[in-house]
Amino acid sequence: MFHAFTVEICAGGIEDVITASRFPIDRIELNSALELGGLTPSIASLKQAKAKSTVPIMCMVRPRPAGFVYTEQEVELMKQDARILLENGADGIVFGFLNPDHTVDRKRTEEFVALIHSYGRTAVFHRAFDLVNDPDSSIQDLIACGIDRLLTSGCAETAPLGAPVLKTLQERYGREIEILPGCGIGSENVVQLLSVSGCRCFHMTAKSMRQDDGEYAAVDARRIQAVMDVLGASIRKKPSLLTREDDELLKQEQYEKPFDL
């Protein structure tokens, strides 16, 4: 717990995990293909993440990009992925199921929650929630299904824009389910977001686009440091946790525009 706030960093691979773990964070959400919104990570990346970091690792289970209405074959694949990830040390599974009418698919959600809880781990419903037509009834469905945590931008393009909805969800349901704001959070808005929403946690991608004969998203240590700074997070004896490599990347401008999920 840092400065009374729970900080979760979204990682796209082992290098992101290593970078994020240099900071006083509380959790990592492990994905692959962040440019596609985050897909299921490999078992090897999970094993390396567990070896390199001491914080809980939440694993995304998402077989493809686009929406969250899945075929039976896709659901079976997701169940197998979740089971294998849990057996290899995942501290929780991040997933989402919707019906074609943009309501929560309770049957499949309940099945996933039962699987995750059978391992004693955390069930997290992701930003599929931000596509629902009725946030109030949908979060009630999630609570009834036993979901532990909800990652959401407040049904808006970004969490700062959705802060009023996040505030309502937190006030009405925060004692029954953890509300985790995510998307578009940075040093320029995190303080106001937490103040308005009343939430004591947030999920941050902290990504910028990096160059290697093309662009890919990677955790940018400078963005994490900036958030820590505005939250009063600098360790007194170490005012910055940026490394020489981070400084060199800054000089070489290998990181370009910010990238937010």
pTM (2 decimals)? 0.89
User: For residue 118, what pLDDT band results from cuts at 50, 70 and 90?
Assistant: very high
pLDDT tens, position by position, 65-85:
999 999 999 999 999 999 999
Contact 260, 254 (CB under 8 A): no
If phi > 0 it is left, if psi is from -120 to 50 it is alpha, else beta; for residue 89 that is left
DSSP 253: T
Average pLDDT over residues 183-206: 96
User: For residue 260, what pLDDT band results from cuts at 50, 70 and 90?
Assistant: low
User: For residue 232, what pLDDT band results from cuts at 50, 70 and 90?
Assistant: confident
Spell out the domains of the chain, with CATH numbers in brackets: 6-259 (3.20.20.380)
User: For residue 258, what pLDDT band results from cuts at 50, 70 and 90?
Assistant: low
What's the pLDDT at 243? Answer: 57
- Mean pLDDT taken over the chain: 91
Residues 6+ apart with CB under 8 A from 224: 9, 19, 20, 23, 25, 204, 206
Average pLDDT over residues 165-184: 98
CA distances from 102 to 65, 116, 123, 134, 137 (A): 16, 24, 20, 9, 12
Residues 6+ apart with CB under 8 A from 232: 3
What is d(CA 48, CA 99) in angstroms, rounded to the nearest whole number? 35
Residues 6+ apart with CB under 8 A from 153: 127, 130, 159, 161, 162, 181, 182, 183, 184
User: What own/partner pairs with CB < 8 Å and gap ≥ 24 does 71-75 have?
Assistant: 75/108
> Is it the case that residue 49 has pLDDT exceeding 60?
yes
pLDDT tens, position by position, 213-230:
999 999 999 999 999 999
> Is it the case that residue 39 has pLDDT exceeding 70?
yes
